[in-house]
Amino acid sequence: MKEMTYSEAIRLAMTEEMRKDENIFIIGEDIGIYGGTFGVTKGMIDEFGEERIKDAPISEAAIVGAAAGAAVTGMRPIVELPFLDFITIGMDALVNQAAKMRYMFGGNEKVPMVVRLPGGSGTGAAAQHSQNLEAWFCHVPGLKVVAPSTPNDAKGLLKSSIRDDNPVVFIESKLLYNTTGMVEEDPEFTIPLGKADIKLEGSDISLITYGRMLKKALIVAKELAKENIYIEVIDLRTLAPLDKDTIIQSVKKTGRAIIVHEAVKTGGFGGEIVATIAESDAFDFLKAPIIRIAGVDIPIPHNKELEKAAVPSEKDIKAGIYRLLNK
């Protein structure tokens, strides 16, 4: 294994897969010489050239549409958009075409495309460049939705996403790009989609999260261990398909559940996790109500302090845990 950033791990995954399969190409805005808005594709044009690192016009509808068309005809495109928010312009091609074609043609057509979306707040980019819209994609049958939290998971999950024959929405938290971790160098290393990971085992509460909230959850869990409160931290990694079994078995063990995500609470993916627990036999093991800790139901402000207050903090997570334990 080698230490690298989240961004480098994503670049390595794409590079390894493109070396193996000439049908893979990347299309997006300023991804060539410029290297992408967050530098993820930096230097890739030198190895793969303009035919496979395609700088497209500023038209997300055209980019996602071209990718969907290319996927159906045998290519394996990777879309990179500058910000997750911009997928709103390409939603028709993604939701009404790519997500449905395999089903509509009885499985005779494949749509192997990955749409990489840098999401989340924390950069001062304000309301139109800081959203977390994963719940939208999870609501659409035919789409797979991935949200890795660590560099190693980012590499392994992206390789699996590229190899998948269905459209995958791959959400990358912008604040994770410069975080570091040990990453498998084996070109054949993959992590299967639909499998959560228990990042920390515990017995008192199941804390279920994904994306950049994982780091905050682990910090809180390690602090509370000093108070003899043992939190089990589950990193979902893939939201669709969802690893319901890991969630249910954990809640049956601990008897308490808290869900943490950056996206706004109303209509957020946390509600689906609550329903998963409530509709299973884990419900009978609950010792307290399920709690959601999520973003405030407002557009993300530009002001730094307001922006910080709009998403869950370590203090918020700790308060939720104390509430569950009646402390």
Q: Does 261 qualify as catalytic in the annotation?
A: no
Per the rule left: phi > 0, alpha: psi between -120 and 50, beta: everything else, 232 is beta
CB 147 within 8 A of CB 210: yes
CA distances from 38 to 31, 34, 41, 117, 288 (A): 9, 10, 8, 11, 42
CA distances from 294 to 115, 288, 291, 299 (A): 25, 19, 10, 13
Q: Among the options 129, 139, 261, 302, which is catalytic?
A: 129
CB 261 within 8 A of CB 294: yes
What's the token pair of residue 252?
A: 């049956």
Per the rule left: phi > 0, alpha: psi between -120 and 50, beta: everything else, 195 is beta
Using CA atoms, how far apart are residues 103 and 108, in angstroms rounded to an integer?
8
Residue type, 190: T
Using CA atoms, how far apart are residues 163 and 153, in angstroms rounded to an integer?
15
In angstroms, how far is CA 8 from the centroid of its own chain?
A: 16
Q: Which are the catalytic amino acids? A: 129
